[in-house]
Amino acid sequence: MNSIRLVLIEDERLLARSIHRFLSERYECEWFETVEQAIVYLRKESVDLVISDVQLPKKSGIDLLNWALENQPHLPIILITAFSSVKEAVEAMRKGAYDYMSKPIDLEALELTIERTLKNRRLQNEVLYHRKQQRSGEGDFLELPSPQFKKIEMMLQRLVEIEQQSGELPSVLITGETGTGKGSLARRLHQQSPRRDDAFIEVNSTAIPETMVETELFGHEKGAFTGAVGQRVGLFELANGGTLFLDEIGHLSLGIQAKLLKVIEDKKVRRIGGNREITVNVRIVAATNIGLEEAVHQGAFRKDLYHRLGLVHLKLPALRETPDTISMLAELFLQSALRKYPSFTSGKLAHTANAETFPSISSRGHYALTHYSWPGNIRELKNEIERSILFHSGDSLDFEHLQHLDQNQMPSFSGFLNTKVEPSADTFTESSGTPFQLPVEGLSLLNVEPRLIGQALLQSTGENSSAAKLLKITQEELRYRLQKHELNQENAQGWEHPLPENGVSISEIEKSYLCQALARTGNNVTGAARLLNLSRDQMRYRLEKYEIVT
């Protein structure tokens, strides 16, 4: 199933069930009858798109739009309207609604509208993303569709909302192994907040001699101690109005921890040797790669400071815990490296705008990357990609470019070139002995659905309930597909073989043909598309739809 998450708001139950059933076969879809119910859900869950009727009990679709503009301005909304409220819907589009559809709803047109809206949203997000990257270059890994990263990104958005509404923000504690991106996350939090135009000051506690930590943080007055020949402003004062990022906070001494706690609670700092307190407005973000709970238990870290810092706790996963993101991260870092080193294309010094000449990561290379444990996490992966760009000598990055990695942590590649894309266990395959083997010359994948429906009609002598059962779909879904392909008992073209009595799944058969084509072409997407008579866009859409990784 597509990982896109939709919300449907419709109080006409017959219409709502029809739309919900249709959408649920393509996306994750939640249905609510009122705006109030939907808003409760939207406050808790991340949603890609909302489809709402304009006329609803109590609050209307326009009320929902107004709420979204204030609370989730980037959430796309498609409105459903009766003829009498078209004018209202058009006005809503001027306010920010993405589109509207008039009743009666054409389900196929609705799907096209959804896809167009999502595509436009992706383009807008890319523009916003690149604008942020031009300004910051931080936290790009949080854009990946990983549940862990998505949860962190949602928390960041919530923190920004809190600060915008109250002007205050509790301290934030970021934990994770070395190289997981704690610094990038801290900078991203700063850059997304109302404090973005003020100072972001980073201090690594392990990089400062213990005797100098106090004066670095709090400053000192002239003559405060031997060698204090002048006044020094501390980092808390320098960060006033902005963010102070305390990295590796677990290494601070207990004495410094006590003074740090007092500054956080009182929002005042006193320089060493000074006799007055200076008010500071600083957001504290702390990070550590050690277990602070264990440090508290052992008496190495103050319990009260731990609880003060940990009001908001963001835990970054190790890269080995999110293996599904490695290939996406690698591609992201590859594009970043190519922008950073524009002259390194195809192993030669050449300035070109032709992306086809840029080096790419081969299937073999992706296999190597995803089967390495990455003890240095995201930082190690990013460095490896940059190193490969600088020293590669061909058009593709594969196992040969990764030789310096710890070979004890690398996979065996014997037989790799013969590896096939494996469909799920319940998918038809070439070796299964079913009538759904991919012919040597290929086939038109777009014709599979109408011919399977035609065969079901012929086998059931035109009885829709039996035909729907053979295709493992509802009668309503069958009626929609019959209209879509303009099929009936008279013009139906059957399959080469009867369908099994226990039925078949159209989506599973399509997925099987995709997997067979990829296996036959050695995971070559272009070659597989030719075998299935698909365009590149059609092929990519189906690979995403069926979550097939090449």
Name the amino acid, one letter, at 97.
A
Cis peptide preceding 104, ω within 30 of 0: yes
Q: pLDDT tens digit string along 354-368? A: 434 456 776 667 777
CA–CA distance, 370 with 524 (Å, rounded to integer): 19
Q: pLDDT tens digit string along 510-540? A: 888 888 888 787 777 888 888 898 887 778 7
CA–CA distance, 355 with 351 (Å, rounded to integer): 11
Residue 3 has pLDDT above 80, yes or no: no
What is the chain's percent helix, strand, coil content, to nearest 5? 50, 10, 35
Beta bridge partners of 49: 6
Mean pLDDT, the chain, whole residue set: 80
Which ranges of 322-474 does DSSP label H, i.e. alpha helix?
326-340, 363-370, 377-391, 448-459, 464-470
Domain annotation for the chain: domains and CATH numbers: 5-130 (3.40.50.2300), 140-317 (3.40.50.300), 322-418 (1.10.8.60), 430-545 (no CATH)
Q: pLDDT tens digit string along 302-323? A: 999 999 998 889 999 998 888 8
- In contact, 262 and 256? CB cutoff 8 Å: no
pLDDT given for residue 78 in this prediction: 92
pLDDT given for residue 421 in this prediction: 39
Q: pLDDT tens digit string along 257-305? A: 999 999 999 999 999 998 889 999 999 999 999 889 999 999 999 999 9
